[in-house]
Structure 1
């Protein structure tokens, strides 16, 4: 695997705790409180919302300027 997705998978394999890595997912909002992060997103299953201890959102460089 090449590109950013390949890098994420290689990093995930080195972490002691399994990571929940998702690709081709549009993040609609991120809300953070003292203990968690709630991410609302849209993927091939429709719009969903999940809560995590932390999150990393990666985007291609040209899209980062619009965030």
Structure 2
């Protein structure tokens, strides 16, 4: 069986705003240290942080626009 993931958050690279939508919609201003990382590293860190904060599910991921 495939391990399916689904988008629960969007990181906007222009505004450096992370928006997460699960039970509620929340937005966070992301600091320069994170926003200046390479895309794949940034997404991994934001996804890990959101999971640790219980803002997204274990199968949820953050996408980037």
TM-score normalised according to structure 2 size: 0.22
TM-score normalised according to structure 1 size: 0.22
Higher relative contact order (CA 8 A, sep 6+): 2
